[in-house]
Structure 1
Amino acid sequence: MTSVLDVWRWVDPAARIASGSVERLQRPVRGVDRTRAAPPHLPPRSEGHLLVVDAHIVTGGLEALVAAVGEAGLDPAAIWVAPATNRRFEDAGAEVPILSGELPPAEVERRAARHLDQERGELASFAAGLRLAAAEAALADLQPAAPAGVVADRLRRGVAVSIGGDLAALTPRHAGRALATRFAAFHGRRPAMEEPRVAAIERRHTRDGLWLLERRIEAGGRPASAWIFDDLPLARVDEVALEALATTLRALLRRPSAPPSPHAERRLPPSTGDPLQDTLLAVARSNGRIAPAARILGVHRNTVLHRLRRASAELGIDPRRPDDALRLLRKDAED
């Protein structure tokens, strides 16, 4: 059945656990109830439901809310207080998980109920959209970090890719750089990667509190793995996203490298001696695209973006604008 964790991660991954046991997040959710009125006007007795509570009625803190729920004979799988914008709650000292987020309560109720009813279809649609977005990112920048960054942004989780035992991409979640450091340390302690096993997702929980999903990939004769990591348990939507990432990475890693052309260096224009001017011309020749310009220059795409910001501020030129690009190319041809 769908767990509290699965509902939470689907409805609002930006929500947080304000109180309760992390282990209880694995409890199944059998339905959704909502209360708009302060206790004792609570929904009828139900077991294993998600109880959505309007935040404005939580005036006595979470401990009082849990006590009222218990006195009413309710046994919710979890309680979701919404919207809890700019509110911090004290721990209620109870096992029941209490979530809080910024979505309105009606939206939490609607999304949760629909996911319980249509979980398989919603996850399939999510996977298809994510595969498309990851593929587009990989086409724009032929590096594992590109699709990994898309997945990390969608999930609000840390994502990593290792190839041949070495980290090829490490994308922390928002405000989660310390977790990325812990993951890098964990990855560095691992023994040399053995031969890839039958395709499957492996779950792990490290001693220093990292929750991990690993998906082994074999592509181009090189063993590789895609990872998702966080300091909270990982849900079904994370597994679906990891499979989508693995599909993109497999295609990316199997892509044959173009053989070096003996005329390649002659086709490249000579350097002007000014890195900023070289960058402007490279972006103009690449029709305003950053990744191809970075490959021409042999620098990271962030370096190109930094130089473009500097050129815009100092010179008022941006080669991503067609007029500026034509002006730059015309001037270069005249010189």
Structure 2
Amino acid sequence: MKKLSILLSLTVLTFSCKQYTKPADRKSTTKKEHSLTSDFDTATIKKHLYTLASDDMQGRATGTPGIEKAAQYIENEFKKIGLSYYDTLTSYRQNFEERNIKMFNVVGVLEGKSKKDEYVIVSAHYDHLEMLKEGEGDRIYNGANDDASGVTGVIALAEYFKNKGTNERSIVFVCFTAEEMGLIGSKYFGKGINANKFVAGINLELIGKEPKTGPKTAWLTGFDRSDFGKIIQKNLEGTGYKLYPDPYPKYNLFFRSDNASLARLGVPSHTFSTTPIDTDPDYHKVTDEAETLDVNVLTETIKAVAIGTSSIINGKDTPTRVTIK
């Protein structure tokens, strides 16, 4: 998440935190409630989370050996899934340099069918914070919830949509770097796109804890800025899972995660989250470790995103564009 001034003494309340292959639609269901649990493997999701948030990654700070290890893990997963390279790239890395630091987004694509020149982006940031340079005890900012949880979602959704193979639109899966330094990775990505071809942005951040809205719920930033959230709500009817508007409007979270970089270009790009940020004791702390997350919450949220976005992925619904004033 993007670094912000400290809003609370204990908890910082913020987010700063072109081509292809194949994806998904949900089989039709009756109106009665159906389970979200059959399409994703909880053990695999746990493996992704615990690997990305391990001490071996040393906090995944941009420009460090730890983020290199994280990038390699994501690349290997994209390769196993069968994602294609983006645009003119010759690997999954989108390399660039900023602040004299060599950086790279990790990008893979599933090509669409009838609307392959229309893109939906599914994203999260894979960077976090540097280790404490001195002191006793735990000095590693593992960044499990922020944002290994979101990256886990990106990988899981890539596999899900690839296996489904029914997407009409192309899906661009991106793990952004340097979000914690000011959304640098997503801003760089945004500079190189034709925003008119991007119909939606689905950003995942802090999705591993039960929110204040209760079990089987998530919340969405910028809910009133497009009809994206209403489309998700409609698709989730009958699942027992609910999506709510951001319950923290005064903190302006819509602009504090990577969705903002595309939203400023007019793309209806929003961030999903579940974490009760007003009471989370682990945000930007060394205590943000995988063991503090609920893997079942993480799994259910990823599944809900898959179902909720299905009509956008499959070309049926197109969210209204965003106007930033």
TM-score by length of 2: 0.24
More helix per residue: 1
Structure with the bigger RCO (C-alpha within 8 Å, sep 6+) is: 2
